[in-house]
Structure 1
């Protein structure tokens, strides 16, 4: 979680070295997150706090990555799409915390796993592209010309739609659990 704001602050700079360092920080954060969870499960040293903190750390890093994108090109990566992704991810994380505190388990759907995979592929591609665009000369111009194709824009629309859909599906599948819990607390 501590690496996410450092990554964000370095990435939004228009300096090739700072942006390159930020990508290394992002990669290290993602890899350590993966191996941390893998080792904890393999050696059965998972804690309730770790199970809670791991997805939260994922969200911080992912949100930091998405927040960087409009700084590259607000036309390709519109703020409204970023806001929808952040609201969905924080909302579902908040519901997970709510459920966990009541010893309930939210059902996960395959769409959530697909959403995560698509978000990560898109995010890593867009962040790498944002680094490459800083190169000078013909290569930099060639990379910048990709923006004119609106591929990132339509990719952002697709990622946002999938993200919002998976959030709605989470709510629909788990609604009885929350309605029942709310009725008990009334």
Structure 2
């Protein structure tokens, strides 16, 4: 249980309260540092999975904790951006993303209990959604529109990517539901 991938995943979970506290500090660079911590957590998500496969250190604990860690930090970030921006233009896609995360997690759990979890495994659409979502959250959390006087438009890009992630979320939810439909209807 105490291998490198699992320790990295636990580190990601430990980053969540640090991320939230730093983001809300009354300090000039708090949002930027919070966005950096979120980015660090996103990178560790890729890294722990890579190590688990490369070192053949996959464990049931890691398989359980990794998606939980992902959902927790993403949910925290979505709640934080809805608080920061306090606009329908951020709140609606954030709610869509949260609903999708809960729905797909429940669907995968149920499919696993039926012994057919592989039919709702991660797809390309799901990976594209995750990439757009993470980049959107980094941009929106940072609040950066300029860097050292140069326009970078992170927030504007964040808005666009948030909507792309929301659309991909709905699409992947439909794909996963379609894959599970025959089992949900009770016929095998």
Fold match, TM over 0.5?
A: yes
Match of 2:93 in 1: 81
Residue 124 in 1 paired to residue 130 in 2? no
- Which one has a bigger Cα radius of gyration? 1
Match of 1:174 in 2: 180
Provide the rounded CA distance (Å) in 2 between the counterparts of 1:156 and 1:27: 16
Stretches (4+) displaced over 4 A: 150-155
In the superposition, the TM-score normalised over structure 2's length comes to 0.74
User: Deviations 1:102-150 (Å, cap 9, x if unpaired)?
Assistant: 432224332112211221222222223x1x3699xx959x789x97xx7
Structure 1 residue 42: deviation in Å? 1.0
Provide the rounded CA distance (Å) in 2 between the counterparts of 1:153 and 1:76: 12
Residue 30 in 1 paired to residue 33 in 2? no
Q: Residues 31 and 152 from structure 1, CA distance in 2 versus in 1: closer, same or farther, beyond 3 angstroms? A: closer
Match of 2:5 in 1: none
For structure 2, which runs of at least 5 residues remain unmatched after alignment? 1-12
Provide the rounded CA distance (Å) in 1 between the counterparts of 2:163 and 2:40: 28
Structure 1 residue 69: deviation in Å? 1.5
User: Deviations 1:36-85 (Å, cap 9, x if unpaired)?
Assistant: 22111111111122112212211212222222222332237432221111
Match of 1:110 in 2: 124
Q: Aligned pair count? A: 174
Provide the rounded CA distance (Å) in 2 between the counterparts of 1:178 and 1:15: 50
Provide the rounded CA distance (Å) in 2 between the counterparts of 1:39 and 1:112: 21
Q: Residues 46 and 10 from structure 1, CA distance in 2 versus in 1: closer, same or farther, beyond 3 angstroms? A: same
Match of 1:5 in 2: 17
Root-mean-square deviation (CA, aligned residues, Å) is 3.2
Which of 65, 68, 88 is matched with 1:53 structurally? 65
In the superposition, the TM-score normalised over structure 1's length comes to 0.74
Structure 1 residue 153: deviation in Å? 4.4
Q: Residues 73 and 99 from structure 1, CA distance in 2 versus in 1: closer, same or farther, beyond 3 angstroms? A: same
Q: Residues 76 and 8 from structure 1, CA distance in 2 versus in 1: closer, same or farther, beyond 3 angstroms? A: farther
